[in-house]
Structure 1
């Protein structure tokens, strides 16, 4: 009996051990690695579709949705799922052995209503992405992908890359204008399709398009393009453009189009030959919003190389004429503006020297921004154009394919306060930049940088303006007999004024170890002197004769030919006179560039 009991006990222990072993294996089957899938996401690359010509930015997912369906097409909820905040990776765990369908939907739209167009499906056949807006396209970029997945019994972690594909198409309205300057006349552009149900309204979770709707008078003025779910067939319709003439009269014109098939992942073009009564005008009208259409740049940005700002052909100007206009070697209107402040409403008058003695209106700028460097195509280079003279007469000018700067005389007309101040400057200083002996191991000369160049521009303009001002000349009269030359003799103030007016200009450089070096046209200052001369570079109640301002006018005294034996460099005469007037005019807003914050706030 005992033997039988022992035998039964051993059998029970053996059976228990076997069951225990089987249980551990079962646990292994549902370990965190079992049924785990990781998806890494990327967006479909398509250079034709992702055209960057409309001011668009690189595509980045802003919202993402996904669903997991079993083989019956029912949406299920996995045991564990995690979607990274940047939508780059999705991890799913706990999927049992079997077949699954996974669907993904994403958008790059930043609009708040992007999420309102997406439903939560319970079946693969349910509507997912919906366009419920009446008579309007979806007009947002969406991506979709469906993949089939099989999970084996013994399967551990799997990683898969998923490229999301565009599930919408794009329609571009390509306006063929006689010149890009005609954009100023366009007030509104909208598009209408004839077919009342020609465009799908829904993308199901399984990737099928359904439904149908019409697009009617959809405004595309800003982008001249829109996104849409695909169309069922090729569509026809019309583009309506509302325009304005120079006299302010509005008119509307409809342009018919056909064979517009909207397909997912593709761009469809509607080409329009824009008609306007002033198509043959040669006048350039440039709004601030038009700059992106042209070759525009900014001088003295942080990464501007020395080879450019030391090149006097690229970076030089006259202190009384910081706005430069010319015809480039490419037969374009070249604009350079050596100023840290913008100007408004500038008209350019032009005389074609070989054709007429009259001046025509060539261009108008609503704004010229600080340190602008830009070139603008001239329609008259390629074809015959009509211009308006200063007295309103229309004149036809034949095409000028070889137009050069010698062929024209350009005159600036504006009431902008900054330019009006430039007109008060009675000197003609030529300003440029130099490294001097910075590369030769010189004890003092160092390299300029773009930011110092900007401050140098402001310094030269401000100094030239101050010397021409009534405030300075009135104050200088009180120094009669106090300003002495190198021999200790009183300086004739009228002779001094004439010497300043006739001075050739300044070649700006940077020094270290001393406040400045100067003589003739050589003019070098330490970097802290370039930035420390503005009225607000020192406390409000501080004496105006700080070291940077002393160095500024000390070195200019050398440029005028005076040495340290005169009162034009050291002492409390010339430099105190200049610094005091300079600070007072800055405080009162009378200088062209008063505050240090003007340059500090510009983008670099």
Structure 2
């Protein structure tokens, strides 16, 4: 909250100018007319990252003093600082030549134990800090001294008028900043930092500022530790010229193999000057500088701003284009190298995957698989793209057998025939690895239009939306995992007398036949069924669809599962005369097994997607 006060002389807090005795005659026109001073400030000297244009002040506290020609503070003035307009208005002025002293503060000076005194003369100490402060400043402090003139003239009409010149006030910081910057040969070293601290010692600082803008006082010698991960720049009053800021920087980083590396670097900064940035740059010499393994920590992933697939709002032209959105359930994590030399990882999964090591065998480089990338975590429906280090510089990679392989800088043709291998100790990855017989899934509109509020129904279909596509991924990951579960085989064998084909109950189908049909490679184009005509599911050949309610409730509702398995029976070539549609396989065995064993499946809860609360569902 901005601490603003309309001050009358004698209050002595925020905006009062109060030391000199009041006028001994009646007020003039000038006294009754407020003088408005616009407050601006400049960037740090030499700050190339910011525009040189003036910035309007947005201070938390403002103090001012009006000084006459003798250097004394003028009293009986009223002042008000308006942060919305960055304007300071002063009433009570008379004819004369003056100087306006303004102290602006951004932040809370109480954290710095700062004292602001009601000076009576320009040479007195106005702002002061303890000698034993022993820490960087929390607030920024700005100062200006602006000459201005007040003139009252009476024209031929006998009516007096006032003229005030010099009302544009430009301030500069009375503090300097020490910035700690780092140069990294390998960007993944920076994003793998666990801690970055510096010990600061040796330097002594000024402790006060007079009304005239002169620095006074001397602090004790600084000795402290700062967290460079929390802040890279620290504020101080100007330093004494006879001292320097010196110390040691400690950087601790993780390695993708689970270890830690600690590095120490010394530094020295000659001085801190007002309104100027002193820079300490440290080239980070690190054993991982030559590493060619992409170490994608959570920080590195977040900074990459990588895309996601099948998200609400994704264009129907994209998610129904099989060349852009299609996956096999046995390979939900798709890996490739783009024509631009990027590692491309696309993940068809409602759940994240943690601790992922991507190994690659590059025939033109080495016969072994090399550690190409480590991901702390891959988020659901990730669409990760990032240039390979090997495209930018010579690198060093660890092979699967543990030896180090030197790679020259590569081009895209050198990666021809690359093969990938994925490793993870995440239990979820074990589940996904349990999908031995994958089905290939794409998404189709079948004439519907998801951009219309009612889905643009055509016949028995309406426009599938990304919210439904994500549930399609969840269901088919579970279904193709289920077909290789030992318990699933058991239930088929225990009920083999209830499995019959299109010829009716006498047309017996063996469990081995059913398993072979379920484990057969298949490709489906999945859509959303329009229930307006009484149809809630469609299936056969490459076609599969269910109505919205079934996609929402397949986790726990056996009727929704019955719809799914009824249509899967059609996909497997069975008619309504078989047990695989209106019979035990779909209506009793599979639907109940799916619900009862959900906790053992890859997508074991509806909470990963929370689809029922999604605003893009059809009403």
Quickly name the TM-score band, shorter chain normalised: 0.7 to 0.9
Correspondence 1:253 to 2:252: no
Q: In the TM superposition, what whole-angstrom CA distance separates every residue of 1:160-203 from its partner, at most 9, and x where no partner exists?
A: 99998766554443322221122367555445667623x55556
Shift of the 363–151 alpha-carbon distance from structure 1 to 2, 3 Å rule, reads: same
The number of residues matched between the two structures is 551
Where does residue 389 of structure 2 map in the other structure?
A: 379
Shift of the 215–491 alpha-carbon distance from structure 1 to 2, 3 Å rule, reads: farther
Shift of the 575–249 alpha-carbon distance from structure 1 to 2, 3 Å rule, reads: closer
Where does residue 515 of structure 2 map in the other structure?
A: 497
- Give the secondary structure class of the aligned counterpart of 1:561: coil
Where does residue 592 of structure 2 map in the other structure?
A: 580
Where does residue 104 of structure 2 map in the other structure?
A: 105
Q: 1: distance between equivalents of 2:312 and 2:130? A: 47
Shift of the 97–170 alpha-carbon distance from structure 1 to 2, 3 Å rule, reads: closer
Q: 2: distance between equivalents of 1:128 and 1:343? A: 56
Contact 2:342–2:387 (Cα < 8 Å) also in 1: yes
- Give the secondary structure class of the aligned counterpart of 1:349: strand
Shift of the 298–579 alpha-carbon distance from structure 1 to 2, 3 Å rule, reads: same
Q: 2: distance between equivalents of 1:155 and 1:572? A: 99
Correspondence 1:451 to 2:467: yes
Q: 2: distance between equivalents of 1:403 and 1:204? A: 69
Correspondence 1:181 to 2:193: no
- Give the secondary structure class of the aligned counterpart of 1:438: coil
Shift of the 37–590 alpha-carbon distance from structure 1 to 2, 3 Å rule, reads: farther
Contact 1:516–1:525 (Cα < 8 Å) also in 2: yes
Q: Could you tell me which of 525, 541, 544 is aligned with 1:507?
A: 525
Where does residue 540 of structure 2 map in the other structure?
A: 519
- Give the secondary structure class of the aligned counterpart of 2:600: coil
Contact 2:359–2:420 (Cα < 8 Å) also in 1: yes
Give 1:502 shift: 1.4
Contact 2:358–2:371 (Cα < 8 Å) also in 1: yes
Contact 1:327–1:404 (Cα < 8 Å) also in 2: no
Shift of the 203–562 alpha-carbon distance from structure 1 to 2, 3 Å rule, reads: farther
Q: 2: distance between equivalents of 1:260 and 1:584? A: 71
Where does residue 562 of structure 1 map in the other structure?
A: 574
Q: 1: distance between equivalents of 2:302 and 2:185? A: 18
Where does residue 462 of structure 1 map in the other structure?
A: 478
Q: 2: distance between equivalents of 1:176 and 1:561? A: 63
Q: 2: distance between equivalents of 1:134 and 1:603? A: 54
Correspondence 1:226 to 2:233: yes
Contact 1:483–1:491 (Cα < 8 Å) also in 2: yes
Where does residue 3 of structure 1 map in the other structure?
A: none
Correspondence 1:550 to 2:546: no
Q: 1: distance between equivalents of 2:42 and 2:460? A: 55
Shift of the 44–261 alpha-carbon distance from structure 1 to 2, 3 Å rule, reads: closer
- Give the secondary structure class of the aligned counterpart of 1:437: coil
Where does residue 431 of structure 2 map in the other structure?
A: 421
Contact 1:141–1:166 (Cα < 8 Å) also in 2: yes
Where does residue 489 of structure 2 map in the other structure?
A: 473
Correspondence 1:486 to 2:486: no
Q: In the TM superposition, what whole-angstrom CA distance separates every residue of 1:534-568 from its partner, at most 9, and x where no partner exists?
A: 22xxxxxxxx423x333322332332233444343
| 1:294-373 correspondence to structure 2 within 5 Å | 294-373=304-383
Q: Could you tell me which of 53, 61, 64 is aligned with 1:65?
A: 61
Task: Give the aligned CA root-mean-square deviation in angstroms.
Answer: 4.6
Correspondence 1:594 to 2:604: yes
Correspondence 1:241 to 2:253: no
Where does residue 138 of structure 1 map in the other structure?
A: 137
Q: In the TM superposition, what whole-angstrom CA distance separates every residue of 1:247-294 from its partner, at most 9, and x where no partner exists?
A: 957654334456676552x65543322212343232333322332343
| 1:133-282 correspondence to structure 2 within 5 Å | 134-138=133-137, 168-183=175-190, 186=193, 188-191=195-198, 196-197=203-204, 199-202=205-208, 209-211=215-217, 216=223, 218-223=225-230, 225-229=232-236, 231=238, 237=246, 239-243=248-252, 252-256=263-267, 264=275, 267-282=277-292
Give 1:242 shift: 4.2
Contact 2:30–2:162 (Cα < 8 Å) also in 1: no
- Give the secondary structure class of the aligned counterpart of 1:387: strand
Contact 1:64–1:104 (Cα < 8 Å) also in 2: no
Shift of the 463–94 alpha-carbon distance from structure 1 to 2, 3 Å rule, reads: same
Q: 2: distance between equivalents of 1:510 and 1:418? A: 28
Contact 2:332–2:347 (Cα < 8 Å) also in 1: yes
Where does residue 19 of structure 1 map in the other structure?
A: none
Contact 1:130–1:203 (Cα < 8 Å) also in 2: no
Give 1:222 shift: 0.7
Give 1:404 shift: 6.2
Contact 1:520–1:559 (Cα < 8 Å) also in 2: yes
Shift of the 395–552 alpha-carbon distance from structure 1 to 2, 3 Å rule, reads: same
Q: In the TM superposition, what whole-angstrom CA distance separates every residue of 1:467-526 from its partner, at most 9, and x where no partner exists?
A: 322233322334424344334233333222212211423323333335333332333333
Q: 1: distance between equivalents of 2:394 and 2:564? A: 52
